Amino acid sequence: MRRLVAQRDSLLNQSGLNRQAIFDVADLPAEISNQLKAESGQLILIGHGGRLLWERVQAAGLSSSDPIDDFTIDTIQHWFANFLPGKRYQILYPGDPPIGLQALGKLAGWHQPSPFMVGIDNEWGSWFAYRAVVLADTNFQPTLAVDRVRPCNCCPSKDCVINCPAGALDDAEFSLNKCLAYRKLPDAKCHFTCLARVSCPVGSEHRYSAEQLHHTYSISLRYIRQNLAMVKSGHPRQPRQAKTTPHITMDFKRGRNSAGRYLTWRLLTILPTWFLTIMFMSVAMARRAVAVIIGIATRLSVIPRTIGFNINRCRTNGITRTVRRVSRNHCTGAQAAK
């Protein structure tokens, strides 16, 4: 068991995925286990805290639209392939997770609510995020929830409330409408950051770099602008498609590899096309062979030349038509000889 924990911690921590929580599916609250539709196995919650993950992603040189998600998936695949061979697993997130990430964060003790609506705890402040949720048939020792108090309860300065230029924290509850309206402005100061979040003193030593903040908030700004454009044009924005990894996922409900089902489906759709193509090619080749044989027989005077001439001229029109023309021309040639 200790070896498994060491394997889990070493690769993931070195990759910047330095927060992990293990839950036995059987011990999860009913509202969560029912959404998972799984009766056994373990649920692995993986997150990151601080700047290390972004540094690893930058070092990997990924240029995709979601480099953090892609790096996370690659790391999990490598982890299972090298340290947990033979273990079945399904990556529920990145993608469209069946359960809320903050609900799992609360079970792990990671999440405490903050005025600016980002989870916060005493160690990392708000500078952590949920990076993956994996359903697996592993046998790790389940982790205990981190017991920490909400740091906002003892914060006297309320810097986040004072420094929010949108005034979204002025009331007792966070105003999403004020936040979105301000970020849509062309001269807004929160296009690629959140001044309320940055001003929070809790866990400030783990604050993201300016480059990472720009990447993170540019994604949300893009969705805000897309949604605004869709509303103006009268076309609602389509929901984001979930990321899929068919080559590594496992359907726990049916106990079958999804990649095998995908390949089977592809074969069933491709094979009939191949069969029909081969069949038509065989018919064409047979017609060609008959024409060639008749042509050779004509040259050898096995059959009258009048027959051979007409056959050679009509062989591309099909076997049935060729035989009919041959019979007719043979009778015509016999009458002329008389």
Specify whether 135 is located in the same domain as 199.
yes
Specify whether 250 is located in the same domain as 140.
yes
pLDDT: which is higher, 237 or 283: 283
Look at residues 28, 222, 13 and name the one whose alpha carbon lies nearest to residue 131. 13
pLDDT bucket at 95, cuts 50 / 70 / 90? confident
Answer whether 26's CB lies under 8 Å from 120's CB: no
Specify whether 204 is located in the same domain as 274.
no
Q: Point out the domain boundary residue: 232, 254, 276.
A: 254
Answer whether 41's CB lies under 8 Å from 136's CB: yes
pLDDT: which is higher, 47 or 306: 47
Contacts of 313 (CB under 8 A, 6+ apart): none
> How many domains does the chain divide into?
2
Specify whether 199 is located in the same domain as 302.
no
pLDDT: which is higher, 243 or 196: 196
Decide if 71 is inside a domain: yes
Decide if 260 is inside a domain: no
Specify whether 202 is located in the same domain as 225.
yes
Specify whether 179 is located in the same domain as 285.
no
Residue range 244-272: mean pLDDT, rounded: 45
Q: Looking at residue 10, what is its pLDDT?
A: 82
Q: Which of 47-56, 126-135, 181-190, 223-232 shows the lowest mean pLDDT across its residues?
A: 223-232
**Residue 314 structure tokens:** 């009509």
**Residue 61 structure tokens:** 């040189």
Asked if the model's pLDDT at residue 175 lies above 80, the reply is: yes
Q: Looking at residue 94, what is its pLDDT?
A: 92
Q: Which of 78-82, 111-115, 221-225, 328-332 shows the lowest mean pLDDT across its residues?
A: 328-332
Specify whether 196 is located in the same domain as 331.
no
How many angstroms from the chain centroid is the CA of residue 59?
22
pLDDT bucket at 168, cuts 50 / 70 / 90? very high
Specify whether 250 is located in the same domain as 315.
no
Q: Looking at residue 158, what is its pLDDT?
A: 92
Q: Looking at residue 63, what is its pLDDT?
A: 84
Q: Looking at residue 313, what is its pLDDT?
A: 43
Decide if 190 is inside a domain: yes
Decide if 259 is inside a domain: no
Residue range 102-110: mean pLDDT, rounded: 94
Distance CA 29, CA 135 (A): 16
Distance CA 188, CA 165 (A): 9
Decide if 299 is inside a domain: yes
Asked if the model's pLDDT at residue 319 lies above 50, the reply is: no
Residue range 46-51: mean pLDDT, rounded: 97
- 320, with CB counted inside 10 A (0-12, 13-18, 19+), is exposed
Q: Looking at residue 8, what is its pLDDT?
A: 56
Q: Point out the domain boundary residue: 228, 254, 280.
A: 254
Residue range 102-124: mean pLDDT, rounded: 93
Q: Looking at residue 321, what is its pLDDT?
A: 45
Specify whether 247 is located in the same domain as 308.
no
Specify whether 85 is located in the same domain as 164.
yes
Decide if 261 is inside a domain: no
What is the DSSP annotation of 229-273?
HHHHHT-PPPPPPPP--TTT-EETTTTEEHHHHHHHHHHHHHHHH
Look at residues 245, 225, 248 and name the one whose alpha carbon lies nearest to residue 237. 225
pLDDT bucket at 337, cuts 50 / 70 / 90? very low
Decide if 305 is inside a domain: yes
pLDDT: which is higher, 296 or 122: 122
Residue range 23-49: mean pLDDT, rounded: 91
Specify whether 201 is located in the same domain as 167.
yes
Distance CA 100, CA 173 (A): 21
Q: What percent of the chain has pLDDT over 70?
A: 67
Decide if 262 is inside a domain: no
Prior bond of 94 cis (ω within 30°): yes
Q: Looking at residue 171, what is its pLDDT?
A: 85
Q: Point out the domain boundary residue: 254, 289, 312.
A: 254
Listed as own residue / partner, the contacts of 35-40 with beta carbons closer than 8 Å and 24 or more positions apart are: 35/98, 35/99, 36/98, 36/99, 36/135, 37/98, 37/253, 38/135, 38/252, 38/253, 40/137, 40/252
Exposure string of 277-302, with b = 16+ CB inside 10 Å and e = fewer, is eeeeeeeeeebeeebeebeeebeeee
Q: Which of 42-46, 228-232, 280-284 shows the lowest mean pLDDT across its residues?
A: 228-232
* Domain extent for 317: 268-337
Specify whether 294 is located in the same domain as 154.
no
